Amino acid sequence: MPEVLEATGARLSGLKPIEHLKYPIIIDPSSLLEFHEFLRNKNYSNCVLFVDRKLKTHKARVQKLIQHVYPKSMTIDLIGNESLKSFKALYPLYSKLLKKKIDRKSVFVSLGGGTIGDAIGFLASTYLRGVDWINIPTTLLAQVDSSVGGKTGINHEQGKNLIGTFYQPKAVFIDPQFLKTLPRRQMMSGLAETLKYGLILDKYFFYEFYNSMEMAMGGQASVLCDYILRSVRWKSQVVAQDERDTSGSRQILNFGHTFGHALEKIFYGKIYHGEAVVYGMKFAILMSHFKGLLNAKELAESFEVLGRFEVPKLPTLNEGRLWKLILSDKKNERGAVRMVLLKGIGCAAPNQEISRPEFSEVFKIFRKLEV
Ligand SMILES: NC(=O)c1ccc[n+]([C@@H]2O[C@H](COP(=O)([O-])OP(=O)(O)OC[C@H]3O[C@@H](n4cnc5c(N)ncnc54)[C@H](O)[C@@H]3O)[C@@H](O)[C@H]2O)c1
Ligand SMILES: [Zn+2]
């Protein structure tokens, strides 16, 4: 039986359900059959499939299921990368949909990685003031992270994801088989986000990950399903407490991201998000130890696992530039640098203030180890 989750995590954690946030997330190698069933049970006027043009085989599978229910459905091939997350790339899509008279009772289906999901979610939330949207994520990063939480968005020249909406899909269908075609480097990048949940929320998962990471890398479906299921559950639980990212409780998901985002900016296009997060988590862990929050044993254990990630070697880094970038990170208020640290493996310590001298000291250690 496929696992059916409510994206609020309410049923799982005992939190109060938030009705308008509920939608099913199906995680199973047979989830596309559920997708087909879902479409059959709805009465949409038409269906538009937006697909990453690289995914020819996956597209054929999904298209066939859609056409069975909606013979007049439309397919739009897209280039799944950051350039799609722009007004320039989306504007012609609005025109195309209007020309084809796609109405408000239609449903959009997105098939692809996080860029396709973010962009098409945004399109769905704004086209004719909102049409239903189903998300089928195909990268590990999209399956464990970006497909949960309702954030859609596009980029601005001043930064990533600065324009967007909170818009929940009607359902998310996750099939780990899509990952068979995903390059190893992309898999690694997605796994970093999975490990992040273990480090901030679940010590036992961290130790399991230690033993099963290789099986996941080898594409073992049962291990991947387990990782995805747990990640989706954790993210849902955190998101349910802070739907619009205002109270700060989502902040723990930012573990490894403050330093990581700065690296991503410096090495734009050269380093993947998850790879930058691996370095960011290492920095945050060193800082946690430096500030006396994390003991030496847990520091060594977490470094051992993070050391297994194949990440590109960093060239020389300029400390002053990194500090400036971190200061300008949108999550930092009133000039102070705040980071999510660890009090232990599986236990996040959000909102920790970091002074410039502390940053310098830890950066020296980081540089010795990593650069
Ligand atoms: N909305 C959120 O909450 C949230 C959270 C995290 C990240 N994001 C966003 O997600 C995006 C990154 O997502 P991503 O890493 O999935 O990027 P992506 O969509 O660019 O996909 C990465 C690459 O993998 C390819 N690909 C996709 N599925 C494949 C498959 N099954 N087999 C082979 N190749 C495949 C794509 O063509 C692309 O080249 C960023 O824009 C980021 O801002 C959003
Ligand atoms: Zn991330």
Domain of 63: which CATH number?
A: 3.40.50.1970
- Which residues' Cβ are closer than 6 Å to ligand 1? 52, 54-55, 80-82, 85, 112-116, 118, 138-139, 141-142, 145-146, 149, 151, 160-161, 178, 181-182, 186, 273
Mutate to test the pocket of ligand 1, among 31, 81, 115 (most ligand atoms within 8 A of CB): 115
What spacing in Å lies between the alpha carbon of 138 and ligand 1's midpoint?
Answer: 8
Distances in whole angstroms, Cα of residue 220 to Cα of each of 29, 55, 215, 271: 11, 21, 6, 26
In order along its 371 residues, the chain shows pLDDT tens digits of: 445 665 554 444 444 455 556 889 999 999 999 999 999 999 999 999 999 999 999 999 999 999 999 999 999 999 999 999 999 999 999 999 999 999 999 999 999 999 999 999 999 999 999 999 999 999 999 999 999 999 999 999 888 899 999 999 999 999 999 999 999 999 999 999 999 999 999 999 999 999 999 999 888 888 999 999 999 999 998 888 887 777 778 899 999 999 999 999 999 889 999 999 999 999 999 999 999 999 999 999 999 999 999 999 998 889 999 999 998 875 566 666 999 999 999 999 999 999 999 999 999 999 999 86
**Closest ligand 1 atom number to CA of residue 142:** 16
**28 and 147 share one domain:** yes
Q: Which domain holds residue 291?
A: 184-370
**pTM for the structure as a whole:** 0.93
In this structure, are residues 60 and 86 in contact, taking their beta carbons and an 8 Å threshold? no
**176 and 221 share one domain:** no
Domain count, the chain: 2
What spacing in Å lies between the alpha carbon of 32 and ligand 2's midpoint?
Answer: 26
Mutate to test the pocket of ligand 1, among 31, 32, 50, 52 (most ligand atoms within 8 A of CB): 52
For residues 125 and 250, give the distance between their C-alpha atoms in angstroms, rounded to a whole number.
22
**168 and 203 share one domain:** no
Summary count for the chain: helices (H), strands (E) = 14, 11
